[in-house]
Structure 1
Amino acid sequence: MSEPKETTLHQRILSDIEGRIVSGEWPPGYRIPFEVELTKQYDCSRMTVNKALTQLVKAGLIERRKKSGSFVMQPQAQAAVLEIHDIKAEVQSLNLAYSYKVAKRVRRKAQAQDRQMLDLQQNSSLIEVICTHYAGSKPFCLEKRLINLQTVPEAADEDFEETAPGPWLLSLVPWSAAEHKIFAVGVDQEEGAMLSIPEATACLVIERRTWNKSGPVTHVRFVYPGNRHALYARFTPETVK
């Protein structure tokens, strides 16, 4: 069965605009065509164009200015850049044996909280995966992940028993934007049990969302026991002009 016309056009608009921005054809500050112009160019509804532009805003590629239009974003200066690391490689760098165990893997409809975390539509479906990564015999971190089936339909047939969700996604789905949130929590009873630590133990939490040109890809929450993990980032100062 072929995709609906509006869905196909939505993907095409995303791909076209993202390609022009990434290639440098549309540099920072460039005003992209108004919605009405894009509607005529792609022979589609204004809602389809608006949806595509909204995703580009959330991916950090464009910004909207009231009464002025949409513009390619200026690059953001970052104090430090967090790479998406392979947990297996992290554990092996400690000269410890790596393993992981899937505690839960289920396909379900997105609930209100899921839609907020992944910016999903009302009737979206997703895959929820919960697993524990081990360094030797001790839990190294807990992973709670949501995968958007609209963007990654292949996840519906993957059980993640052989390959963890993170490296599986990185090998299959290129991402164009990522957002990290880092904070500390006192772990609750359920998560503490999965990490073999007492309730309220201080833990480092890293939450990440990724997108590609088709939309949201995944939301993941990593919980690390605070006394077993440190976060490092190397960066250089901006050139003084």
Structure 2
Amino acid sequence: MTIEERIRRDIEGRIRSGAWLPGQRIPFEAELATRYGCARATANKALTRLAREGLIERRRRAGSFVAQPQVRSAVVGVPDIAALLAERGEPHRWQLLGREEDAELPADVTDGRGDRWLAVCGIHHAAAAPFGWEQRWIDCASVPAAEAAEFADVAPGSWLLVNVPWSDARHRVRAVGASPATAAALEIARGSACLQIERWTWRGDRPVTYVRQTFPGDRYDLVETFASE
């Protein structure tokens, strides 16, 4: 292994483990050169490669910093946030904040046809930082097993994808400003730009779940690939 590869491996390991958080400054080239006993050009090449891979951000005259990782997801389909983060090499942790039986859908949701709803809310964490704020309603008539699920360690979305098949889905994607509750959950300033995804899934003519997921605007990319016929 070359010195350049060692530098890249060590920095990448600290970033992916959460030891170095987004926004944290990376040692300057001169510091790395001294630490690894190499030329500054070698350290520069390692940092340039890390920047090209999206792990760090290089700023003129300020140095290099851990980048805010962006998770890319297809617009079509129902993604598993834990799996998306795992593909990027980031540890995922679900933090359950609330669970309410016999809940009501939000007042602005007018197309719910479920009989009895279980509401679950919590935070998806990527490494040591909040990644997404989730509010979910599950139709207990369609998914009776959800009433016995605690969702303390496994996010409801991940649980549903494993346990409940769905036949149809609808997405609504929009830009929103962080509400006080969202800002507190995601540890961002009120009014910060966020991406909000609302999703219905059905099995036949019965709803399975309705969810609102809100992410800081610089953390999540929606991607779709098209081909001409």
If the length of structure 1 is used for normalisation, what is the TM-score? 0.61
* 2:90 counterpart of 1:99: no
> Partner letter of residue 118 of structure 1?
G
2:110 match: 116
1:157 match: 148
Which of 80, 84, 90 is residue 86 of structure 1 equivalent to?
Answer: 80
* 2:203 counterpart of 1:212: yes
Deviation sequence 1:95-140 (CA, Å, 0-9, x none): 22211100001102435738725233xxx32110001001111111
Q: 5+ residue gaps in structure 1?
A: 1-79
Distance 2:108 2:159 in 1: 21
* 2:139 counterpart of 1:148: yes
Distance 1:115 1:125 in 2: 15
Residue 140 to residue 111, structure 1, CA distance change in 2 (3 Å): closer
Q: 5+ residue gaps in structure 2?
A: 1-73
Q: Please report the RMSD computed on the Cα atoms of aligned residues, expressed in angstroms.
A: 1.8
Which of 224, 227, 232 is residue 223 of structure 2 equivalent to?
Answer: 232
Q: Which has the higher strand share?
A: 2
Distance 1:81 1:227 in 2: 17
Query: What SS is found at the alignment partner of 1:100?
Result: strand
Q: What pairs up with 1:6-155 in 2 under 5 angstroms?
A: 82-110=76-104, 113=107, 116-120=110-114, 124-155=115-146
Residue 164 to residue 114, structure 1, CA distance change in 2 (3 Å): farther
> Partner letter of residue 210 of structure 1?
T
Q: Contact between 1:151 and 1:217, CA under 8 Å: does it hold in 2?
A: yes
If the length of structure 2 is used for normalisation, what is the TM-score? 0.64
Residue 150 to residue 214, structure 1, CA distance change in 2 (3 Å): farther
1:169 match: 160
Query: What SS is found at the alignment partner of 2:85?
Result: helix
> Partner letter of residue 129 of structure 1?
V
Query: What SS is found at the alignment partner of 2:161?
Result: helix
1:4 match: none
Over the matched positions of the two proteins, sequence identity in percent amounts to: 35
